[in-house]
Amino acid sequence: MRFGHETAEMQYNPFLVSGHQQLSGTLRNRCVPGRVLPADPGPGTTRPAIRWGNTHMSTCVRSRRGLVAASALVAALSLAAVTPALAGTGTIRTPHAVAHAASEPMAQGDPRSVSQRVADFYGAYIDTIWDGEDPASGASLQALKAFYLSADARRKVAAYEARQHADGILFAQNVPVKWRVAYTGSGAGQATSRVTLTWSDGRNARVTRIDVRSDLETRKITDLRPVR
């Protein structure tokens, strides 16, 4: 900055200070009444210093403004560094929801796989029964059976339900909380899958199993039998 023929250069970089105390102390020493504001002459150059006085009061005002701006910049940088770490903790969830979210694996699929079709069917079927209060659930169950099951398999399911008064897909009257499908073999144009249903949480949860047969050409489920 220039005042007539007197010149002083004050250079400050907020990224080179170690904290607010160092930054504040450096600027404060240059504005104490009666103290000399040190100049920064280059090699072999002598520059007059600026003293505190009515004529040069704007020097300290600008210095203090620089301090405020620097403090704001340091605070903004600190907030920017902390914000990403806190971004994942902003959502409040119940312990039950957090436990389920942490244990859910990544889902993927292949429409060419008959075992994948079985998994898709059982997943959608159980979801629909679980949300049975939804007005569309009844129609959805019929639509799922019509799409994934062959006509002969649908007749067998209907006969079992009329005879046993239980669900002919789950072979039960309740709704499982977990399910798993594993490919078990193929031959003669058919593939078999083993469906495992878990009926409660905990170490001693009840488990049932169902063997499902599928046609390799149509990928339709042709038969379902509970494992005894």
Summarised one tens digit per residue, pLDDT across range 131-161 is: 999 999 999 999 999 999 999 999 999 999 9
Q: Is 149 found in the same domain as 212?
A: yes
CATH of residue 138: 3.10.450.50
The Cα 173–Cα 90 span in angstroms is 41
In a domain? residue 103 = no
- pLDDT digits over 5-45, tens only? 444 444 444 444 344 433 333 334 444 444 444 444 455 54
Residue pair 208/152 in contact by the 8 Å Cβ criterion:
no
The Cα 190–Cα 208 span in angstroms is 23
Whole domain around residue 115: which residue ranges?
A: 110-226
Confidence at 69, pLDDT banded by 50, 70, 90: low
So what's the pLDDT on residue 108? 86
In a domain? residue 99 = no
Number of structural domains the chain divides into: 2
- pLDDT digits over 71-121, tens only? 555 555 554 444 444 444 343 434 454 445 556 677 888 999 999 999 999
Q: Is 114 found in the same domain as 82?
A: no
Q: Is 156 found in the same domain as 117?
A: yes
